[in-house]
């Protein structure tokens, strides 16, 4: 079995700066590479490689989060997330209160911005 070389994180960081610099510069890849004396083929290789690594890292993070939530749910004896069915629209005159199993409580008042509520719920979900 072939040995896999360890990643050179400094080199990866340098190429991330280069790729990001090209995007910020608004120059074509060809113009940017010429100005920086960088091989265009190396630029394209690293742009693709970084995208692949980021996608791989995203999959790993998702799998880790799923594994942690599954294990945590088994430890407490209850699932972390409970299915919710949303019924017909009702008047939002009265606030809605959401109580999580860990004791966290969220009160949503009438006219709450949907994007803000999603952001708060996402942050709470990632915290567990």
How many other CB atoms sit within 10 Å of the CB of residue 60? Answer: 10
Token pair listed for 111: 């006219």
Give the global pTM: 0.45
Average pLDDT for 87-93: 60
pLDDT digits (tens, 9 = 90+) for 20-56: 999 899 899 999 999 999 999 999 999 998 888 888 8
When pLDDT is averaged across residues 90-99 and rounded to a whole number, the result is: 67
CB distance 34 to 22 below 8 Å: no
* Per-residue pLDDT reduced to its tens digit, 48-85: 988 888 888 777 666 666 666 665 555 555 555 667 77
Whole-number pLDDT of residue 62 = 67
* Res 111: pLDDT: 72
Position 128 scores a pLDDT of 57
pLDDT at 41: 95
Q: What is the 3-state secondary structure (H, E, C) of the chain?
A: CCCCCCCCHHHHHHHHHHHHHHHHHCCCHHHHHHHHCCCHHHHHHHHHHHHHHHHHHHHHHHHHHHHHHHHHHHHHCCCCCCCCCCCCCCCCCCCEEEECCCCCEEEECCCCCHHHHHHHHHHHHHHC
Amino acid 32: pLDDT: 95
Best CA proximity match to 38, nearest among 14, 73, 64, 69: 14
Point out which residues pair with 97 in neighbouring strands: 107
Q: ∠ CA 75-57-30 to the nearest 5 degrees? A: 165
Higher pLDDT, 3 or 15: 15
Could you tell me which residue, 104 or 54, shows the higher pLDDT?
A: 54
């Amino acid at each position: 079995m072939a040995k896999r070389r360890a990643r050179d994180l400094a080199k990866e960081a340098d190429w991330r700066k280069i790729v990001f610099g090209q995007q910020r510069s608004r120059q074509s890849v060809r113009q940017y590479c010429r100005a920086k004396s960088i091989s265009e083929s190396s630029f394209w290789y690293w742009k693709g490689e970084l995208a692949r690594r980021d996608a791989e890292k995203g999959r790993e993070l998702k799998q880790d989060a799923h594994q942690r939530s599954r294990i945590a749910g088994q430890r407490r004896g209850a699932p972390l997330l409970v299915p919710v069915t949303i019924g017909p629209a009702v008047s939002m005159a009265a606030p809605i209160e959401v109580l999580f199993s860990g004791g966290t409580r969220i009160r949503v008042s009438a006219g709450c911005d949907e994007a803000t509520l999603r952001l708060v719920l996402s942050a709470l979900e990632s915290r567990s």
